Amino acid sequence: MNQPLLEIKDLKTYFYVKAGTVKAVDGVTLNLDPGVKMGLVGESGSGKTTMALAVMRMIKPPGTIQGKISLNGVDLVTLSNEEMRKARLSQISMIPQGAMNSLNPVARIRNQILDGLEDHGVKLSKSEANDRLAQLLQIVELPTKVADMYPHELSGGMKQRVTVAIAISMGPKLIIADEPTSALDVVIQRQVMETITRLVRELNLSMILIGHDMGLMAQSVERLAVMYAGKLAETGGVKEMFADPLHPYTQKMISSLPVLGRRGVFEGIQGIPPSVINPPPGCLFAARCPKVIAGTCQEISPALREVRPGRWVSCHLYN
Amino acid sequence: MSNISRRDFLRVSTTAVAGALLAACGAPATEAPKVEPTAKPAEEKPAATATPKGPVRPVDAWPVGELPRNRTLIYYNNTPPNGNFALWGADPHQAGWAICQEPAAFYGVHGDKQYMWLAESYKYADDGKGLTVVFRKGIKWSDGTPFTANDVVWSMDTLKRVDGLQKAGNVKATVEKAEAVDDLTLKLTFNQVDWRFFFTSMTFRFDLGDNTLIQPKHYWSTVADDKLREDKFYDPAKGLPISTSPYGVGVSNEQYTNYDLRKSWWAVETGFVDKEPDVWRIQQQPFTNDTLAAQLLINKEIDHPLDLRPFVVASTLAQADHLSTWTGRKPPYGYVDWWPISVQFCTKKPPFDNPKVRWAVAYALNQQAIVDIGWSGAGTVAMSPFPAYPKLNALLDQIKDVTDKYNVLEFNLEKSAALMTEAGFTKDGEGFWVDKDGVRPDADVYAGVPLFGDIAPVVAEQLRQAGFYSQHKAPPDVWAAKVDGRASMFLFGHGGATIDPFDTLQLYQEANAAPMGEQSWGNITRWDDPEFAKARQEIKNTAPDDPKMVELFKKTMEIWYAALPDCPIVQWYHRIPVSNWYFTNWPDETNPYMNSALWHWTMLQVVLGLKATGNA
Amino acid sequence: MTGFLSYIKRNPTLGIGLAMLVILVGFTTIGRLFINPDDAYRQTMYMNQPPSKEHPFGTDAQGRDLLTMMIMGTGMTLQVGAIAGGIGLGIGIVLGFVSGYYGGLLDTIITSAIDIYMTIPSFLILILIATTFKNINLGIIEMGVIVGIVSWAGSARAIRSQVLTMRERPFVMMAKLSGMGSMEIVMKELVPNLLPFLVMSLSQSVYGGIMSSLGLEAIGIGSRREPTMGMTLFYVNYYSAFLLGLWWWILEPVAVIVMTLTSFVLISMGLDEIANPRRRRSL
Amino acid sequence: MTLSYFVRRVFFLFLVVWTAATINFVLPHLAGRDPIKEQMLIQIASQGRTQADAEAMIRTYTRLFGLDRPLWEQYLTYIGNVMRLDFGYSINNYPRTVMDIIISRGRLTLPFVVVSIFISFTFGILLGAFLGWNRTPQWVSNLVVPPMLVLSSVPQFLVALVLIYFVAFRMRLLPMNGAYPRTMVEDWGSLTFWMGYAKHAILPILSMVLVDASGWALGMRAMMVTVEGEDYATFAEAKGLTTWRVFFRYLLRNALLPPLTGLAIRLGFIITGASLVESFFAYNGLGSTLGGAIGNFDYFLLYGIVTIMVMCIALATFVMDMIYPLLDPRISYKAQRG
């Protein structure tokens, strides 16, 4: 456990648009050890998905990525485009958000799975390919005949299982699951999530699970990171965080859950999240913060620091 | 695309000829044969086919293969016949294959030349109720069958016998009986006096007339009467179409039609013509637009287009030295056609049933401005419904007191307004004439597409300036609009008159002046006047060179001018730039052996006059 | 207003399109104050004059002042487009809503009609109508009406499919449950929600109307007198302006046409971003 | 493919043709026109006939064209004739039949129109996809899109005029007019003829392609942007696929579907557009014949061409309907397309 699998240092993802600079992700620092599952939570627009895309280096102009994202000691930001492309799926892969639309509607499942393999240099004979498909589909609990079907012939849960099969097809070290079950109904959500957690455990992968279902988080992840307006508010072990939230935002968030630890979706806090276009200086939560320190919070942006082992928080309260 | 309809409009204008009668003038016509550049007296040479003079034709077979460009005359016309040389059903007029037809005689008005052709001489019966035509010896159809007077008899009989054939009017109306006295002599018996039959029905001039196309009896008598109309008369393998002409049809398709010089021609064989034409092939291509035609002329790709707009002609001449026109390189770049243009009135429709209103229009029109604006000055005004030809001009000169009294060229808005006020009109707030109910009379000027595109807008605007609520209209059904009487005013040409005013006067036939509600196609103005009819009848019975003619003409025109069923505006010009690169000796004002339009019936004469330059 | 401006900043396509349209409308309305409309018709001896002080846009072969013709003609062409677009969209809205909202047999009939109509090119029908009917005085209004009548199928189909998706949205369900009548739901719920889409359809219909009228006029089917852009092109062609090198006479109507059509294309594209949020480029 | 789908599409095909044919039949009657009479008027006037004589002639031709029978009988005969592709005689080119003219001119137009459509579509689609692609630098779009906007709204005939003037007239690089060299006879079996035909077709094709491809490209560009916003586009990239695979298989492949449905309908626009272009190149094909039929008011020819064009378009739509489910698996042969 000496070398973290993923090491994000001062990651900034800015979009330079006409109206100004959108600081979607602003100075996030985060470590993820091998085999660890981390939850990433925050309100809509807090920069979770952007951060996930930044880690995959899939930010398009006018967006930019600054900082360091190293995976197994390799800085992804400095990789060539081609190297980065190869790293996707084989090193980091993604389980996308919209299960309904994430598969190419005009291609058979077979091709959508094999395309990824083929473009990462895996050459398979026809029978090898069939074996591989059968194996992958079996892992995600789908019948083999799915391979020859089109996406529109599958249910939402089946589609999401296909994306999971694709995500693990090259045996990556890290999986980023971006609200993987958000589009599914509750029963299916649970089945799919069980499959994902089972796979992550069996294959010993690391995972970043993005979402706002705190109950799901409590069940699925070991560590939790809270994002607010493009910045990291707090990270720590999931149990610790629930038991003793440090950041006022985290505190409000957890206290607003109806029944702690059970299924409950974090819907946010009263007040409006701040605009991330040309954000003001100071703590962005200051305007909504019940414990605001007048003079300081509005002026100085709090740094993220480790207040106790494994607990990082960015708040002037803990200076 | 609509140049085709321009042709349609041209062809319409010959309405005159139907029942032409009486004229004391058989004589002048028979004296007419003169020395022409291409025809020589037959007796001077033995009939020699074996030793042609001049350049030897590089062909043994007919139709011929590829020929040098400098022996190919390329001209624009409407869409080529596309293997459709149907004679009796379709109207072959201006279809471009007049080259395949030879008449009894040709006439060129600009040089006042008559070329006796298949016929050697003709003579009217003393009472004017008959005609004898003698044809030349040695004429052969292209398939070798000798031509005889029986062919002419058969042609005329067929026109009389079968209903609904093209060009049947004159023969049906006039010819009682056609018979062949012998192989070369045709004897016609008329059911009325007609001193003009040879000229109107057997002589090619311009694109005019109800000419009887003389057809090979031996071919057509094998076709059933009810199949005549459908016969396309085309099959190169069988040598169709059969004709006496030096040119046969080689290839005819969608893109072009080749008229190739045949292996032999009766006129060379008999020595009537001293040598074969310099033009070995005539290629007819479809005319589509002025711009392209001008560019092709400049690049020497074609030799002869249809007539072009004055601006285009000027610009084209400026870009190429090898081009010339009838008037050389100066305006008006063309010759006067037989088709002077008038603003014509529907004289049975208010308010134009009132001569005062018609004259108000005449005073409102400034003819010279129409020429200046519409044609940038390249043209002349018309003060009468007659084309400006020598014999007709001479006649008009002798009735100067009438034309001075009724001067349609006078532009005088006060007189115009005074006449309108007299007719009971007042002006409304916007300055337009309204009748006593406050309604603006319909004064739209209908004009065909696109022939009048340059002058019609000017006419309409001039009328607006004078208070007529007028607008230039060119709907697709412009023809029906006139004939139905929906159009109150329309631009149109008239005539047919070339050597004698009768053909034009004949337009205003009382029998054809249908009342409103009926279609009137013979006499579109629907104008009808008993006095005029009587006077015209007298002209009909009088020879053109009779001294009485001037008096009669004066009397007739006095009635015409007073009533003014149409107001003359401009003489019509054919402005045709021709290429002198491959062929020279095009007819022009210094050498007016024929009018130069190749789409006319007289095409053969123009082609025979051309000389190859040998330019590569 | 400032909100509008700041929106335009984010949607420059719409902004440029609107700006071009405003310029054109301004050109034809404000321009009218400075010219005598009669100059667009009056022929003079000054033919084929290149641009000069007296005639800033030059003159045509009939000696008409091209500046005046452009000012008048731009308005007329826009008018034809507006009439055609309005009528086309009007029919499209009625059929689209009826078909999309009520469904059933009515929908089947209307959809089949649309399908058939779309298969028969409207330009051919236009030609048939314009050449068949006697004595139609093809003025600006008539032109607009004819073009409008034949060009409803596209917008009807598009509106129908929008209504179909709208119909399933929760707020329509709510409205139905709360006992609103069909007409009320259409007017109070569907139309406001489809407004950006309808405006976009209007813009497209106007574009189509102008395009069709230009096509007809360029081949000579139209009012010979009015200096609409299509008729001007007809005369450009008729007088072989290109051969004569009268560049101003060609360039001016083409510039107006390009600007007009482009403005409507841009407006449609811009409105599309509002009407079709999925097309917004995601951040 | 189910039988019922096939039957339904065939039925639709006939419905379209029947509708078009009926419009053709009804319009002149609605307008109260008598095509024969009008056309004969023009021809008769040049013969200088008496009224009685002219009426006899009109009677002859009315009988010949079958216009003297009761309306319903005319209609049935007419529909029957249309189904047998018999449109009667062209009034202006009598005794040529309308079908004869359509075939002999259409065969000159068909290759040139098909090639035009093919080139404009392929080129426009690729260009549009490229411009709409998020990997294409913005400046490329800024540079290319404005001229395309202009080009797509310039009348085709002006493009034709410019091309003729510079390429053919001034530089003499290509022939100015005609469908093939006038020293050749139409012979589709000969390679030389094909070469000549091709050489003459370059400029007309170019003047249509320049305008048309711009239109396709603009439409395709917008489609690409939409497709790029789809989740599957993002996921495709996350899969680490090669750039080209993402571009062709995931983006272009999906963005292509809506334009493809428009392709069949586009056929009609192309032919009408061709009518002016053809006349500028003195290309005596179907397009300029349509123009001529309008100008001459050759009713039967006009209606024959319109019907044939509608048939072609309906047939093309039918073929598209048959192929489309292969391209877009979401559309099954069973379901009705909405």
pLDDT digits (tens, 9 = 90+) for A97-107: 866 788 998 88
Give the integer Cα–Cα distance in Å for D324 and D257.
9
Using a CB-CB cut-off of 8 Å, the residues of chain B touching C131 are: 476-477
Domain boundary among B227, B257, B283: B227
Residue A257: pLDDT above 80? no
Q: Do A63 and C283 touch (CB under 8 A)?
A: yes
pLDDT digits (tens, 9 = 90+) for D214-266: 989 988 988 898 888 888 888 888 888 888 999 999 999 999 888 887 887 77
Give the integer Cα–Cα distance in Å for C209 and C202.
10
What pLDDT band is residue B4 in, cutting at 50, 70 and 90?
very low
If contacts are CB pairs under 8 Å, which of residues 187-226 in chain D contact chain C?
218, 222, 225-226
**Higher pLDDT residue, D221 or C131?**
D221
CA distance D151 to chain C (A): 8
- Average pLDDT of the residues in A41-52: 83
If contacts are CB pairs under 8 Å, which of residues 233-262 in chain D contact chain C?
none
Using a CB-CB cut-off of 8 Å, the residues of chain B touching C243 are: 290-291, 294-295, 312, 315-316
Domain holding B16, by residue range, is: 6-80+238-329+578-612
pLDDT digits (tens, 9 = 90+) for D155-169: 888 898 899 999 999
**Higher pLDDT residue, A264 or B84?**
B84
Give me chain D's average pLDDT, please. Answer: 83
Instruction: Please name the residues in contact with D291: beta carbons below 8 A apart, sequence gap of 6 or more.
Output: B1, C219, D275, D276, D278, D279
Q: Do D41 and B521 touch (CB under 8 A)?
A: yes
Residue B578: pLDDT above 90? yes
- Average pLDDT of the residues in C98-114: 86
For chain A, list the contacting chains (3+ Cβ pairs, <8 Å): C, D
Per-residue pLDDT, D48 = 45
Q: Do D235 and A150 touch (CB under 8 A)?
A: no
* H helices present in A119-234, as ranges: 126-139, 156-168, 186-203, 214-220
pLDDT digits (tens, 9 = 90+) for B264-278: 899 999 999 988 899
CATH of the domain at C212: 1.10.3720.10
What pLDDT band is residue B214 in, cutting at 50, 70 and 90?
very high
- CA C261 vs CA B505, B590, C78, C204, C264: distances in Å: 54, 54, 10, 10, 5
**How many other CB atoms sit within 10 Å of the CB of residue A105?**
16
Contact B309/B454 with Cβ under 8 angstroms?
yes
Q: Which of D235, D254, D328 sits opposite A102 (nearest CB)?
A: D235
Using a CB-CB cut-off of 8 Å, the residues of chain D touching A116 are: 239-241
Using a CB-CB cut-off of 8 Å, the residues of chain D touching C164 are: 338
CA distance D224 to chain A (A): 14
Residue C279: pLDDT above 60? no
What pLDDT band is residue B244 in, cutting at 50, 70 and 90?
very high
Q: Do D231 and A102 touch (CB under 8 A)?
A: yes
**Higher pLDDT residue, C145 or B26?**
C145
Q: Do D330 and A152 touch (CB under 8 A)?
A: yes
Does B477 touch chain C if contact means CB atoms closer than 8 Å?
A: yes
Per-residue pLDDT, D45 = 55
A/C touch flag: 3 or more CB pairs below 8 Å: yes
Q: Say if C2 falls within a structural domain.
A: no
Contact D115/D201 with Cβ under 8 angstroms?
yes
Does B297 touch chain D if contact means CB atoms closer than 8 Å?
A: no
Per-residue pLDDT, B37 = 41
Instruction: Give the count of domains, chain B.
Output: 3
- Average pLDDT of the residues in D131-144: 87
Per-residue pLDDT, D50 = 52
Q: State the DSSP string of B483-536.
A: HHT--SEEEEE----SSSTHHHHGGG-GGG-PPTTS---SSTT----HHHHHHH
Residue C136: pLDDT above 80? no
Q: Do C219 and D276 touch (CB under 8 A)?
A: yes
Is the four-CA dihedral C234, C239, C243, C246 of positive or negative sign?
negative
What percent of chain D has pLDDT above 70?
88
Give the integer Cα–Cα distance in Å for D166 and D164.
6
Q: Of A63-77, A264-278, B5-19, B254-268, which one has max mean pLDDT?
A: B254-268
Chain A: residue nearest C12 by CA?
Answer: A18
If contacts are CB pairs under 8 Å, which of residues 21-50 in chain A contact chain C?
22, 24, 50
Q: Say if B87 falls within a structural domain.
A: no
What pLDDT band is residue A53 in, cutting at 50, 70 and 90?
confident
Using a CB-CB cut-off of 8 Å, the residues of chain B touching D192 are: none
CA distance D105 to chain B (A): 7
Give the integer Cα–Cα distance in Å for B335 and D305.
39
Asked whether residue B601 falls in the same domain as residue B567, the answer is no
Q: What's the CATH superfamily of D107-288?
A: MetI-like (1.10.3720.10)
Asked whether residue B586 falls in the same domain as residue B567, the answer is no
Q: Do C244 and B315 touch (CB under 8 A)?
A: yes
Using a CB-CB cut-off of 8 Å, the residues of chain B touching C40 are: none
Q: Say if B302 falls within a structural domain.
A: yes
Element (H, E) at B260: strand B257-261
* H helices present in chain D, as ranges: 3-31, 35-45, 51-64, 71-83, 98-132, 138-153, 156-163, 191-228, 231-238, 243-245, 253-255, 257-280, 286-296, 299-327
Surface-to-core class of residue C170, CB atoms within 10 Å of its CB (0-12 exposed, 13-18 middle, 19+ buried): exposed
Q: Say if A1 falls within a structural domain.
A: no
Residue B33: pLDDT above 60? no
Give me chain C's average pLDDT, please. Answer: 84
- Average pLDDT of the residues in B474-490: 80
Give the integer Cα–Cα distance in Å for B511 and B506.
11
Closest CA to D135 of A58, A132, B502, B259: A58
Closest CA to C70 of C264, C227, C261, C246: C227
Q: Say if B233 falls within a structural domain.
A: no
Per-residue pLDDT, D31 = 67
Closest CA to A110 of A126, A91, A89: A126
Per-residue pLDDT, D112 = 84
Q: Say if B86 falls within a structural domain.
A: no
Query: Phi then psi for C17, rounded to 5 degrees?
Result: -60, -50
Instruction: Please name the residues in contact with A184: beta carbons below 8 A apart, sequence gap of 6 or more.
Output: A99, A156, A157, A160, A192
Per-residue pLDDT, A189 = 82
Q: Do A24 and C283 touch (CB under 8 A)?
A: yes
Range with the lowest mean pLDDT among B476-480, C26-30, D138-142? B476-480
CATH of the domain at B260: 3.40.190.10
Domain holding C136, by residue range, is: 11-34+55-275
Asked whether residue B18 falls in the same domain as residue B47, the answer is yes
Using a CB-CB cut-off of 8 Å, the residues of chain A touching D251 are: none
Does D235 touch chain A if contact means CB atoms closer than 8 Å?
A: yes
Per-residue pLDDT, B476 = 66
Does B253 touch chain D if contact means CB atoms closer than 8 Å?
A: yes
pLDDT digits (tens, 9 = 90+) for D264-319: 777 766 766 777 788 888 888 888 888 778 777 777 888 888 888 888 888 888 88
Does B295 touch chain D if contact means CB atoms closer than 8 Å?
A: yes
- Average pLDDT of the residues in A62-77: 86
What pLDDT band is residue A264 in, cutting at 50, 70 and 90?
low
Q: Say if C46 falls within a structural domain.
A: no
B/A touch flag: 3 or more CB pairs below 8 Å: no
Per-residue pLDDT, C224 = 79
Instruction: Give the count of domains, chain C.
Output: 1
What pLDDT band is residue A44 in, cutting at 50, 70 and 90?
confident
- Average pLDDT of the residues in B421-449: 90
**Is the entire prediction scored with pTM above 0.80?**
yes
Domain residue spans in chain D? Answer: 107-288
- CA count, 13 A, side-chain hemisphere, B19: 16
What percent of chain D has pLDDT above 90?
18
Q: Say if A277 falls within a structural domain.
A: yes
Asked whether residue B363 falls in the same domain as residue B497, the answer is yes
Partners of residue A261 on adjacent β-strands: none
Q: Say if C27 falls within a structural domain.
A: yes
C/B touch flag: 3 or more CB pairs below 8 Å: yes
Asked whether residue B412 falls in the same domain as residue B447, the answer is yes
For chain B, list the contacting chains (3+ Cβ pairs, <8 Å): C, D
Domain holding A79, by residue range, is: 6-318
Does D150 touch chain C if contact means CB atoms closer than 8 Å?
A: yes
Q: Say if A232 falls within a structural domain.
A: yes
Instruction: Please name the residues in contact with B308: beta carbons below 8 A apart, sequence gap of 6 or more.
Output: B290, B293, B294, B316, B575, B576, B577
- Average pLDDT of the residues in A168-179: 88
Per-residue pLDDT, B8 = 42
Residue type, A76: L
Mutate to test the interface with C, among B3, B288, B309 (most CBs of C within 10 A): B309
Does C280 touch chain A if contact means CB atoms closer than 8 Å?
A: no
Length in residues, chain D: 338
Range with the lowest mean pLDDT among B33-47, B170-184, C32-46, D215-229? B33-47
If contacts are CB pairs under 8 Å, which of residues 170-189 in chain A contact chain D?
170
**Higher pLDDT residue, C136 or A284?**
A284
- Average pLDDT of the residues in B236-244: 89
CATH of the domain at B448: 3.10.105.10
Mutate to test the interface with C, among A16, A17, A25 (most CBs of C within 10 A): A17
Q: Which of C9, C10, C283 sits opposite A15 (nearest CB)?
A: C283
Query: Phi then psi for A224, rounded to 5 degrees?
Result: -135, 140
Q: Say if B177 falls within a structural domain.
A: yes
Instruction: Give the count of domains, chain A.
Output: 1
Give the integer Cα–Cα distance in Å for B135 and B148.
8
Give the integer Cα–Cα distance in Å for D234 and A58.
8
Element (H, E) at B177: strand B175-182
Q: Do C44 and B373 touch (CB under 8 A)?
A: yes
Contact D221/D128 with Cβ under 8 angstroms?
yes
Q: Say if C168 falls within a structural domain.
A: yes
Q: Which of D272, D297, D302 sits opposite C123 (nearest CB)?
A: D272
Using a CB-CB cut-off of 8 Å, the residues of chain B touching C215 are: none
Contact C132/C125 with Cβ under 8 angstroms?
no
Q: Do A120 and D240 touch (CB under 8 A)?
A: yes
Asked whether residue B265 falls in the same domain as residue B365, the answer is no
CATH of the domain at A211: 3.40.50.300
Q: Say if B15 falls within a structural domain.
A: yes
What pLDDT band is residue B342 in, cutting at 50, 70 and 90?
very high
Per-residue pLDDT, B11 = 39
- CA B33 vs CA A259, A304, B234, B546, B594: distances in Å: 124, 119, 34, 21, 15
Does B291 touch chain D if contact means CB atoms closer than 8 Å?
A: yes
**Higher pLDDT residue, B104 or C189?**
B104
Give me chain B's average pLDDT, please. Answer: 85
**Higher pLDDT residue, B392 or B37?**
B392
Q: Which of D230, D245, D254 sits opposite A115 (nearest CB)?
A: D245
Is the four-CA dihedral B225, B226, B229, B235 of positive or negative sign?
negative
pLDDT digits (tens, 9 = 90+) for B348-390: 998 999 999 999 999 999 999 999 988 989 999 999 999 999 9
What pLDDT band is residue D12 in, cutting at 50, 70 and 90?
confident
Per-residue pLDDT, C282 = 33
Asked whether residue B592 falls in the same domain as residue B456, the answer is no
Determine the 3-state secondary structure of B240 from DSSP: strand
Per-residue pLDDT, D257 = 87
Give me chain A's average pLDDT, please. Answer: 83
Does C134 touch chain D if contact means CB atoms closer than 8 Å?
A: yes
Residue A95: pLDDT above 50? yes
The token pair that represents B163 in the structure block: 């209903």
Mutate to test the interface with D, among A50, A71, A106 (most CBs of D within 10 A): A106
Contact D216/D259 with Cβ under 8 angstroms?
yes
Q: Say if B489 falls within a structural domain.
A: yes
Q: Say if B34 falls within a structural domain.
A: yes
- CA B577 vs CA B134, B190, B281, B583, D316: distances in Å: 38, 43, 20, 13, 46
Per-residue pLDDT, A137 = 92
Asked whether residue B444 falls in the same domain as residue B503, the answer is yes
Per-residue pLDDT, A2 = 60
Asked whether residue B558 falls in the same domain as residue B412, the answer is yes
CA distance A257 to chain C (A): 27
